[in-house]
Amino acid sequence: GSKSVILGVKDDQMVATFTGAHGFANGLDAVLDVANVLIKRGYENKIKLLFIGDGIKKDQLVKRKNDEKLDNCIFLDPVAKTDILKYLHASDVGLMILDNVPAFYYGTSPNKFFDYIATGLPVLNNYPGWLADLITENKCGIAVPPKEPEIFANALIDMFENPSKRKVMGSNARKLAENKFDRKNLANKLQELLLDHVNA
């Protein structure tokens, strides 16, 4: 989709989008650390980081954006589920972000992961666990280690510089959504997945 739905974003810019709660467990400061690295490396006007949602940490994140002049970060208020898709279609990468606390790794709601892959977005994930494994196995994105803003920034730059690679990851994402996560099977599959991990 055209990027014009996202205020101030041009079609030749790459947009990496996070949707969901801006809470403690989400660890979104990690993405602002990456924003700093991208600016230092001259990608401020090439890669934009979009955050859609609300939560206890949002004010502090927006303040940090302003204090550190992170003009490559865009914060939007929560939007209706139907509008989320409009923004995802205008995005290039979906972000799965969690704070580096192992207790959180399996507690993440995979809903937004399914939204990303159903839209054909490659996913960039910054915490270990079954989701990182799934992304790596299905070549539908990049899993980076926690607390490594340089590696995270490299992954985004790699995606920006190699649109064809990004396209392949995106179509793998879409295939994964259709084959494994058809909405009808979703609840059962998810239950099985989670039970497997609980019993592992």
- The pLDDT of residue 14 is 98
Helix pair 163-180, 111-118: axis angle to 10 deg: 120
* 93-132 residue pLDDT tens: 999 999 988 777 665 667 889 899 999 999 999 999 889 9
Query: How far apart (Å, rounded) are the C-alpha atoms in residues 24 and 57?
Result: 7
| Alpha-carbon gap, residue 97 to 112, rounded angstroms | 11
Distance, in Å, from the CA atom of 156 to the CA atom of 93, rounded to the nearest integer, reads 9
pLDDT digits (tens, 9 = 90+) for 158-189: 999 999 999 999 999 999 998 877 666 666 66
Question: pTM for the complete prediction?
Answer: 0.89
The share of the chain scoring above pLDDT 70, in percent, equals 88
**What does the pLDDT average to over 36-46?**
97
What would the pLDDT profile of 122-142 be if each residue is shown by its tens digit?
999 999 988 999 999 999 999
Q: What number of CA atoms fall less than 13 Å from residue 177's CA on the CB side?
A: 21
